[in-house]
Chains A and B, each alone.
Chain A
Amino acid sequence: MLTHIRNAHIVDPANGRDEIGDLWMRGETIVAPPQNGAQADETFDASGLIAMAGGIDIHSHIAGANVNTARLMLPEHHRAHAGRPAETRLSQVGWTTFDTGRLYAEMGFTTVVEPAVAPHTALHAHLELADTPIIDKALLTLLGNDDFVLGLMRSGESASAIRDHVAWTLQTTRALGIKVVNAGGVAAFKDNVRSFSFDDVVPYYGVTSRAIVKALQKAVHEIGVPHPLHVHCNNLGLPGNFETALTTIAAAEGLPLHLAHVQFYGYGKEGPQGFSSAAPQLAEAVNAAKSVTVDVGQVMFGQTVTISSDVVRQFSARGSARPKKYAILDGDANGFGIVPYEYRAGSFHNAVQFAVGLELFLMIDDPWRVFFTTDHPNGAPFTAYPDIFALLMDKDVRAEWLSRLPAEALGVTTLPSLKREYTLNEIAIMTRAAPAKLLGLPDRGHLGAGARGDVALYRPGKDIAQMFRAAALVFKDGELVVREGEVTRYKYGRALHVTPTVEASMQRRMSEYYDERYGLKADFMRVPEGAIHRPQPFEAVACAR
């Protein structure tokens, strides 16, 4: 099957293309234009359309036990979903696995990473991902608050033991990478510790957050996992916490490190309410630290639910739950907290958060190192992305939004003074080329020969949000799946995971550990292909070593 897309405005920064041209796909793959005058089986006239590779979201809580508990806790979200007109935000929360795949595809996204899965619940998360149609997906497994890693560090075991354990965890849970959430803090909460900073010590284990982050960063790097350690820092949401982010960035010491949803760490203590934007300082630090990447976690106004493995933070936020309910889990190796929340444009605090996110987008100068996220659904549902694209690309749209926010809040930010507008090319870097590079997926994020046939075509117009909300055409693996913002064909993608070499000694050691500590066989968390009941549910991603 040869497919020809004619006369598109091709925006493909990875290959240096920003021009009117054609795209050819044979089967699942993008190919060079055929030289022999071969006739396409199907031709699409893309005159006036913009072509980009399928979008890649590196951090979106779309599946797993935590997300699912939030679904079950909030039936009112679904009622709104079912009954309201299509334009309202709640109607687009994307709440089932089925809707998640559908809504992402309709925006032209084709690969999404669920960033927080406790190792014991990997199978559950993979089953949900398998029921998420169209898009490919992956998960990051949580380590660094678990007794095994902390125990290794306490007893002073070698870096190679930690490395072997990380490899075992990646392999067993079929993960694309490793995330650490409030390193050591989640474990310390079980010992009634209520706040935890980068150099605080986990009771009994005697290790600091810093030491945990450094050890895991090194292990992930040495195994050759393409995606660097994905860090959710300590002190999320607290006034003055930009210093925590700066300290963590400094600790990267030239090795790759990814900091998640940094908007939630861009806060100073200035101003009338002791809460202000510290985005300039944070952006400056990110700009200077070339081995560090960040994603933003933009806040948008409206009802949402916060889902986080940072139980310390979520427990302390339970009082602000709206509606008034929450669940806090002290889990094996990690926990979670689910706290529904409504961001209000009239709230000083929420308006500052909104501004900090945009400031970071606009002040971090390298689109290859700042990633586009709302930390779905923590800052906003992913269905808010089109509005954020418009905010980044059009300063008039920004000014219009700002006119509705409390002036006092804007006064503790620099946002009104920022005039930068993202170009299409920069958007394509941030949401396509850069994520593919960050995750180690060489066949994604670009439109060159050999790339996967994941292509999104948008109809440009004055309303940028509308353009990104409803892709004109989307191809997944060379097959047309969306036309005019509506899914026309459902199929199921794959879960991407690395396959590092696992030492037999670690395999034995984990069996003994789980038997002794939990009375369980270590393979209870395995994810056999046969359990998924979808054809070809997985795809291996190469490690560098």
Chain B
Amino acid sequence: MSLKDSTGVEAAASIDGAPASLAAAAAAAARLLTQSGQPLIAGLGADIDGARAAIALAERVGGVIEHTHSAALMRDLNSMRETGVMLTTPGEARVRADVVLLVGDGLTETWPGLAERLLTAPARPEGVDVGRRIVWLAPKLDATIPGFVGDIEIVAAGLGSTLAANLAALRARIKGRPVAQARIPPPALDAFAGVLKAARFGVAVWTAASLGALEIEMINGLVRDLNETTRFSTLPLAPGDNGAGVLVACGWIAGFPMRTGFGAGAPVHDPWRFDAERLVASGETDCVLWISALGAAPPAWLNAANVIALCEPTTQFTKKPNVRIAIGRPGVDHDSVLHSPDAGTLVAVTASAQSATLSVAEALQRIGACLAETRAPPC
């Protein structure tokens, strides 16, 4: 293993900032994990095979699995775990939606394909063009969707509690209930409700990155109500760093989403207790295995713990990680399986520039091989 990556900027592996062999770095990482009372595997920007390896390692060392976008993922998931949800796929929304209801901001940041793949493409549910109306409960009146020049009917609905109140008023008007103190003028509110009720197959689109639990629950409730008479569904946008992919892998391997700990022998899921930032801030964890193969920058809270970093060679840290191992990018340096926001499911991606850099799974296997044999890993 070369000590320099192709750019020569950083060593492929290092211990306390000094170049080290991969074997020495893996051994040092294994030592840190073993010494820790509750190691945390966080970031988890990895492909499916990397996620599988990370969960298996967490199970072996009694650690916690987390993901950099857990908070947003859990907001959408919580709504499903507590109420009823209607869901659709990017493909079905693209071919079928005659009304697209956008809610909140951050949409294009979360799904760069939004304008091209959903808003611009004509709706052709059965191969026949139908009109598509795009309506937006936007943060403010002059909001725009980058890359989209078509018509959008915008209502300034704010964000946070303002948006929640406006969604509640809209939901009430859809059900024909009176609204006393709507922040949106009643005629505009009713016109908006009318568009949604007249949809044949509407789709609500948002990103949990910019919405709170209340807003999400209100959208899901509004969509449920619309389905009493017509068809309406939702397309919550998947956050980056393969968050949706890691979520489903956690589901089938651990039975739970991320924010699950294995210290008790069986997996325990607790969204508050196993929040990475809280675990480090409270001192409940002193060692973080931080994985970022898909571009997420290291968060500031990392500095309070011992850190084993599996990341790209160019990643900058404010405090040098105790151990650092360079890994390649899934789908670029090696073949990979990732959640595709365009397909709405897991997709096999062929490496675009195959290289010898380690994958997340390979790096974790090197570390795992240095752990004292406890019990055979179950997966």
Contacts and interface: CB of A to CB of B under 8 A. Distances in A.
Interface of A: 63, 65, 68-69, 71-75, 77-78, 81-82, 95-99, 120-121, 123-124, 127-128, 131, 133, 147, 151, 189-192, 204-205, 315, 318, 321, 324-332, 490, 517-520, 524-528, 530-531, 533
A321 B91 contact: no
Contacts of B94: 518-519
B121 interface: yes
B379 A123 contact: no
- Shortest 8 CB-CB contacts between residues of A and residues of B: A82-B266, A204-B126, A332-B91, A531-B348, A326-B84, A124-B346, A96-B255, A78-B255
B176 interface: no
A330 B235 CA distance: 10
A93 B62 CA distance: 24
B124 interface: yes
A329 B345 contact: no
A73 B80 contact: yes
Contact of A325 (B81, B230, B254): B81
Among B48, B87, B96, the most chain A Cβ lie within 10 Å of the Cβ of B87
A328 B86 contact: yes
A518 B84 contact: no
A517 B89 CA distance: 14
B343 A524 contact: yes
B150 interface: no
A526 to B, nearest CB: 6
B89 A332 contact: yes
B201 A190 contact: yes
Interface in B205-258: 227, 230-231, 233, 247-249, 251-257
Contacts of B247: 72
A298 B347 CA distance: 35
B252 A330 contact: no
Contact of A327 (B87, B231, B361, B379): B87
Interface stretch (B23-31, B32-40, B307-315, B334-342): B334-342
A517 B252 contact: no
A71 B269 contact: no
Contact of B91 (A78, A192, A520): A520
Nearest to A147: B126
Nearest to B203: A330
Nearest to B82: A325
6 contacts: A75-B81, A131-B379, A204-B126, A327-B80, A332-B89, A518-B91
Contacts, number: 170
A528 B88 CA distance: 26
Contacts of A98: 253, 378-379
A394 to B, nearest CB: 34
Given A147-B95, A330-B88, A519-B117, A123 B81 contact: no
Given A120-B345, A332-B91, A519-B342, A78 B269 contact: yes
Nearest to A81: B255
B95 A68 contact: no
B52 interface: yes
Contacts of B84: 318, 321, 324-328
A337 B37 CA distance: 41
A12 B84 CA distance: 48
A506 B49 CA distance: 32
B127 A78 contact: no
Contacts of B345: 65, 120-121, 123-124
B255 A520 contact: no
A526 B347 CA distance: 8
Nearest to B359: A533
B87 A71 contact: no
Contacts of B343: 120, 518, 520, 524-525
A332 B127 CA distance: 14
Contacts of B335: 528, 530-531
A526 B348 contact: yes
B342 A205 contact: no
Contacts of A74: 81
B214 to A, nearest CB: 17
Interface in B71-130: 77, 80-89, 91-92, 94-96, 117, 121, 124-128
A73 B117 contact: no
Contacts of A95: 255
B4 interface: no
B152 interface: no
A205 B269 CA distance: 46
A72 B82 contact: no
A328 B91 contact: no
A518 B90 CA distance: 9
Contacts of A531: 335, 337, 348
B247 to A, nearest CB: 7
Contacts of B256: 71-72, 75, 78
Given A73-B81, A151-B127, A524 B347 contact: yes
A330 B233 contact: yes
A440 B77 CA distance: 40
A531 B252 CA distance: 17
Contact of A520 (B92, B257, B342, B379): B342
B317 to A, nearest CB: 30
Among B48, B89, B248, B267, the most chain A Cβ lie within 10 Å of the Cβ of B89
A451 to B, nearest CB: 29
Nearest to B116: A519
A325 to B, nearest CB: 6
Contact of A524 (B85, B86, B340): B340
Given A75-B256, A326-B84, A520-B343, A533 B49 contact: yes
A532 to B, nearest CB: 9
A192 to B, nearest CB: 5
Given A71-B255, A72-B77, A325-B84, A331 B89 contact: yes
Contacts of A133: 378-379
B353 interface: no
A189 B86 CA distance: 13
Nearest to B337: A531
Contacts of A151: 126-127
A82 B85 contact: no
A113 to B, nearest CB: 17
A373 B378 CA distance: 28
Contacts of B80: 69, 72-73, 325, 327
B253 A97 contact: yes
Contacts of B227: 315
A97 B92 contact: no
Nearest to B117: A519
B252 A68 contact: yes
Contacts of B347: 123, 524-525
B200 interface: yes
A127 B336 CA distance: 12
B251 A71 contact: yes
A329 B251 contact: no
Contacts of A205: 126
B252 A128 contact: yes
Contacts of A78: 255-256, 267, 269
B255 A490 contact: no
